[in-house]
């Protein structure tokens, strides 16, 4: 039995339609099994799934995009916005599934279940705009990551890190295969330039102490990258990551963003850089 952590967070928005972030399956429940929780969360806010016209995907990691195909099957009107690089993988998720199976091995099916394709007619490539919001590249966590901005709220995806509120600790999820630490610093600059009033995190909730939050993320990203660069092994890295957290929060963070994955993402980042340099 897997933990289900599906939540909806509304943020104030200038448009007449409500904007919300939905975090499905942070801790290993199948994305499609989060749909009932999504419906319940929407109902609490006086909406139903059929009212949702646009699904804005920051990137195609399965804990963000895994339920898109199933949602469109239920609601064929739904427009799914994604980066140009991500779009073909929604239409044909076979490659995505292969690479996730390599990472998750035998636990893939229990964790992720069915990855339904999104019909190409429902996929919208986000250029500089998406559903009335600004869209812009926020690479670092993933090479195809984008975020959305309405002038006050930044819909950050994973670009602003993971924070389990009301906790204050902000951690950088750095899973394989294409974490880019340097690019992530540039992303943090790009977010700061827009001076958002609040960060809508997918994992989890809305943060309004924006500059402190981003400063902490930058600091921890630097520290985590350095640990691996300096030769820390996986076990030691995981122990150090747990040591960064207050008592009682360690398991929650490790479930939301497994530290062993962050280790392997950073290891790969440094190995790839070395290969390129030699």
Residue 61 makes contact with Zn ion by CB under 5 A? yes
Q: How far is the CB of 164 from Zn ion (least distance, A)?
A: 16
Q: How far is the CB of 160 from Zn ion (least distance, A)?
A: 12
Q: How far is the CB of 100 from Zn ion (least distance, A)?
A: 11
Residue 5 makes contact with Zn ion by CB under 5 A? no
**Residue nearest Zn ion by beta-carbon distance:** 61
- Give the residue with the Cβ less far from Zn ion, 61 or 163: 61
- What is the Cβ-side half-sphere exposure of residue 192, based on CA atoms within 13 angstroms? 13
Nearest to 143 by CA among 168, 118, 171, 179: 179
Joined tokens for residue 104: 């998750």
The angle subtended at Cα 221 by Cα 252 and Cα 239, nearest 5°, is 50
Residue 89 makes contact with Zn ion by CB under 5 A? no
DSSP 93-106: THHHHHHHHHHHGG
Which listed range, 9-17, 152-160, 192-200, 237-245, lies at the site for Zn ion (CB under 5 A)?
A: 152-160
Q: How far is the CB of 103 from Zn ion (least distance, A)?
A: 12
Q: Which residues within the stretch 174-233 sit at the binding site for Zn ion (CB under 5 A)?
A: none
Joined tokens for residue 245: 């957290």
Query: Is 157 within 8 Å of 138 (Cβ atoms)?
Result: yes
Nearest to 160 by CA among 133, 197, 191: 191
Which listed range, 33-41, 54-62, 129-137, 246-254, lies at the site for Zn ion (CB under 5 A)?
A: 54-62
- Give the residue with the Cβ less far from Zn ion, 42 or 137: 137
Q: How far is the CB of 84 from Zn ion (least distance, A)?
A: 18
Which listed range, 27-35, 57-65, 93-101, 128-136, lies at the site for Zn ion (CB under 5 A)?
A: 57-65
Q: How far is the CB of 50 from Zn ion (least distance, A)?
A: 28
Residues contacting residue 253 through CB under 8 Å, at least 6 positions apart: 162, 164, 169, 171, 241, 245, 259
Query: Is 211 within 8 Å of 164 (Cβ atoms)?
Result: no
Residues contacting residue 132 through CB under 8 Å, at least 6 positions apart: 15, 150
Q: How far is the CB of 238 from Zn ion (least distance, A)?
A: 19
Joined tokens for residue 67: 């339920």
- Give the residue with the Cβ less far from Zn ion, 42 or 179: 179
Residue 158 makes contact with Zn ion by CB under 5 A? yes
DSSP 242: H
Number of residues that bind Zn ion (CB under 5 A): 2
- Give the residue with the Cβ less far from Zn ion, 61 or 89: 61
- What is the Cβ-side half-sphere exposure of residue 94, based on CA atoms within 13 angstroms? 1
Which listed range, 8-16, 58-66, 125-133, 160-168, lies at the site for Zn ion (CB under 5 A)?
A: 58-66
Chain contacts with Zn ion (rule: CB under 5 A): 61, 158
């Amino acid at each position: 039995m897997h933990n289900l952590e599906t939540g909806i967070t509304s943020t104030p928005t200038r448009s007449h339609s409500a904007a919300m972030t939905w975090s499905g399956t942070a801790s290993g429940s199948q994305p499609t099994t989060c749909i009932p929780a999504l419906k319940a969360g929407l109902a609490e806010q006086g909406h139903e799934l059929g009212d949702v016209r646009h699904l804005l995907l920051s990137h195609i990691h399965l804990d963000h995009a895994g339920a898109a195909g199933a949602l469109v099957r239920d609601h064929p009107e739904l427009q799914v916005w994604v980066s140009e690089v991500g779009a073909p993988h929604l239409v044909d998720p076979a490659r995505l599934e292969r690479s996730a199976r390599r990472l998750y091995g035998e636990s893939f099916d229990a964790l992720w279940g069915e990855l339904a394709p999104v019909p190409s007619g429902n996929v919208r490539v986000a250029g500089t705009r998406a559903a009335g919001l600004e869209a812009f590249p926020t690479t670092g966590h993933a090479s195809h990551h984008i975020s959305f901005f309405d002038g006050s709220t930044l819909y950050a995806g994973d670009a602003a890190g993971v924070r389990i509120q009301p906790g204050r600790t902000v951690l950088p999820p750095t899973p394989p295969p294409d974490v880019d630490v340097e690019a992530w610093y540039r992303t943090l600059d790009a977010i700061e330039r827009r001076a958002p009033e609040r960060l809508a995190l997918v994992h989890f909730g809305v943060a309004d102490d924006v500059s402190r939050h981003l400063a902490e993320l930058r600091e921890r990203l630097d520290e985590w990258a350095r640990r691996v660069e300096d030769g820390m092994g996986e076990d030691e890295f995981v122990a150090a990551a747990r040591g960064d957290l207050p008592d009682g929060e360690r398991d929650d963070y490790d479930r939301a963003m497994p530290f062993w994955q962050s280790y392997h993402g950073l290891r790969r980042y440094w190995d790839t850089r070395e290969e390129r340099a030699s």
